[in-house]
Amino acid sequence: MFKYHILALLLGTILDFVFGKIYSIWNPFDSIRGFVKYLDRALLGDEIILLEPSKQKSLGIWLIAIVILPVFAVITFFTMLCYDIAIPVGVLFEAFATYLCVDCKYLLTGAISVMNEFYSDGIDAMKNAYQLIFSKESIGNDEAKVTEEVITYVANEASDAVISPLVVMFLFGPVGGFIYRTIDIIDGEIGYRNSRYNHFGCPAATLFRIVDYIPGKVSGALSVFCARHITCDLDGRNGKYINLRDRYKAVSAFAGALQIQLKEGTVGDADRIPKASDIRRAVRLTRHVFILIQVILVILLLIF
Q: Determine contact, residues 226/239, Cβ cutoff 8 Å.
A: no
Three-state SS annotation for 103-154? CHHHHHHHHHHHHHHHHHHCHHHHHHHHHHHHCCCCCCCCHHHHHHHHHHHH
Q: What is the DSSP letter of 19?
A: H
Query: How far apart (Å, rounded) are the C-alpha atoms in residues 70 and 263?
Result: 33
DSSP secondary structure, 225-280, as one string: HHHHHTSTTS-HHHHHHHHHHH--HHHHHHHHHHTS-BTTTTBS--SS---TTHHH
CB 148 within 8 A of CB 274: yes
First to last CA, the chain: 10
Residues pairing with 262 in the sheet = 267
Nearest CA to 208 out of 186, 234, 178, 235 is that of: 186
**pLDDT tens by residue, the chain, 304 residues:** 789 999 999 999 999 999 988 888 889 999 999 999 999 988 887 766 667 888 889 999 999 999 999 999 999 999 999 999 999 999 999 999 999 999 999 999 999 999 999 999 999 999 999 999 998 888 888 999 999 999 999 999 999 999 999 999 999 999 999 999 999 999 999 887 777 788 888 999 999 999 999 999 999 999 999 999 998 889 999 999 999 999 899 999 999 999 999 998 899 999 999 999 999 999 999 999 999 999 999 999 998 8
Classified as helix, coil or strand, 89 is helix
Concatenated DSSP letters of 207-226: HHHHHTHHHHHHHHHHHHHH
